[in-house]
Amino acid sequence: MLGPEQIIERAKKWEIVFDAYDNQRPLKVRIEKELKKGYLARILELDLIGYLRTKKKFNINDEVLAIITSANYVNKQIELKLVDVLMDKEKILKILKKAKKLNKPIKARITNVANGGFEILVLGQKGFVPPSHIPKKFSENLYIHIGREYNVYILRVNENNILASLRELNEN
């Protein structure tokens, strides 16, 4: 029987599982065991096992990127799909810098509310929209926007940080 701390820890892990599923966030997995039509793979960030259905051949301990296609908390089952075409971070940064330079909007999904602003996922990378860049029409209840996609304008981007705005930026 699990103690209260273990139950809370398990719930936190599954909250991350469902967030990764909802946002189609790629996760690093390690191949642990070959099965008939795929592999058992350990989701490294969570230390949970999932089933990766694929025809590609891997060696035990290979690390690959996958997304969660199904998650069942009751049965403790996670199904994974290999991320075939994933842009590397350099390419993503290049796209974001170009969007900033041209003042072009880019799609982002709001993943959370923090510090009065929005945490976002843009091209698979985490970013932030500060409160000063959220239109007044959003401010009634910020939490209803979680999971929704909006166009954002890039304010600042580097390898560790993406700062964006939900307001259209005026060219100076």
pLDDT tens-digit readout, 78-127: 999 887 545 567 788 888 999 999 999 998 989 899 988 999 988 878 89
Rg (CA), the chain: 19
**pTM of the prediction?**
0.53
pLDDT at 22: 80
pLDDT at 172: 42
- End-to-end Cα separation, the chain, in angstroms: 63
Nearest to 44 by CA among 58, 28, 59, 32: 28
- Residues of the chain short of pLDDT 70, as ranges, are 84-88, 139, 170-172
pLDDT at 170: 66
Which domains does the chain carry? 4-82 (2.40.50.140), 89-165 (2.40.50.140)
pLDDT at 168: 83
pLDDT at 109: 87
pLDDT at 88: 67
pLDDT at 90: 78
Task: Give the number of other CB atoms < 10 A from CB of residue 66.
Answer: 23
The contacts of residue 108 (CB under 8 Å, 6+ apart) are 120, 121, 122, 127, 149, 150, 151, 152, 164
